Amino acid sequence: DIQMTQSPSSLSASIGDRVTITCRASQGISNYLAWYQQKPGKVPNLLISAASILQSGVPSRFSGSGSGTDFTLTISSLQPEDVATYYCQKYNRAPPTFGGGTKVEIK
C-alpha cells in the first residue's frame, strides 16, 4: 500500500505568517490528493480536492499544489481560526489512506 507522510508533524507560527505543510506519497498518485482541516473538538472539513481545487466556502488564503508524489498545502497568511490539525489523503486507489496530520498552532 502507498504510504502518506506529512511534515512537519506540528508547527507554531505567528499571525500573518505564510505556512506550508507537505505531504509525500511513497508512490505516484497523480493529483488524487485531498486536504482536510480538523479544528479542536470538531469534525474534519474538506479544504482541497484533486490536489489544488479549493472547496466552496474555503478562504482563498488556502491553496494546494503538487502532483505525483509531492504535495503542498499553503496558508498564505495565518489567522487565529486556522488553528487545527491538517490531514492529507490519497484517493487514487484503495485504500484511501490519510497522512499522519500536521498540528498548526499560533506562536
Partner 1 sequence: EVQLVESGGGLVQPGRSLRLSCAASGFTFDDYAMHWVRQAPGKGLEWVSGISWNSDNLIYADSVKGRFTISRDNAKNSLHLQMKSLRLEDTALYYCAKDIRTGPVGAVDYWGQGTLVTVSS
How far CA 32 is from CA of 8, 12, 64, 105, in Å, comes to 21, 28, 12, 27
Q: How far is the CB of 16 from partner 1 (least distance, A)?
A: 28
Q: Between residues 17 and 83, which has the closer beta carbon with respect to partner 1?
A: 83
- Omega of the bond prior to 95 within 30 degrees of 0, cis? yes
CA 59 to centroid of chain Cα atoms:
14
43 binds partner 1 (CB under 8 A): yes
Through-space distance between the first and last CA atoms of the chain, rounded to whole angstroms: 36
Contact string 22-41 vs partner 1 (x = CB under 8 A): ------------x-x-x---
Residues 48-107 that bind partner 1 (CB under 8 A): 49, 55, 85, 87, 89, 91-101
**CA separation for the pair 15, 18 (Å, rounded):** 9
Interface contacts to partner 1, rule CB under 8 A = 1, 34, 36, 38, 43-46, 49, 55, 85, 87, 89, 91-101
